[in-house]
Amino acid sequence: MSKQEWPLYEVFIRGQHGLSHRHVGSLHATDAEPAIQNARDVYTRRKEGVSIWVVPAAAITASSPDDKGSLYDPADDKVYRHPTFFDIPDDVGAM
């Protein structure tokens, strides 16, 4: 008999107020609420965060690695899309 695994959840943690949630890893849980508790125990033992999001991994639609060429390569020779060609007035300061 094969062991039935709990569904996979992706975990996002916000390190401090004002920052955005960042993907920190994944874990298994029976449901969303237990996933929050598991994330609290697995990923915030050392005060890593002030807020947790969990998302069912199955709900994430990901780009296909096979499409890498057509998706990203065309940007290679379009350096003008970087804002480095603009002269920044000194008054603006550090950006």
Structure tokens at 72: 């990203």
Question: Is residue 6 near other proteins by the rule CB under 8 A?
Answer: yes
- The phi and psi torsions of 9 (rounded to 5 degrees) equal -120, 140
How far apart CA 35 and CA 38 sit, in angstroms, is: 5
Question: Is residue 30 near other proteins by the rule CB under 8 A?
Answer: yes
**CB closer to other proteins, 6 vs 72:** 6
Question: Is residue 46 near other proteins by the rule CB under 8 A?
Answer: no
How far apart CA 83 and CA 65 sit, in angstroms, is: 28
Q: Which of 19, 22, 25, 28 binds other proteins (CB under 8 A)?
A: 28
31 alpha carbon, distance to own chain's centre: 20
**CB closer to other proteins, 47 vs 78:** 47
**CB closer to other proteins, 27 vs 52:** 27
Question: Is residue 29 near other proteins by the rule CB under 8 A?
Answer: yes
How far apart CA 61 and CA 83 sit, in angstroms, is: 30
Contact set with other proteins (CB under 8 A): 6, 27-31, 33-34, 37-38, 40-42, 45
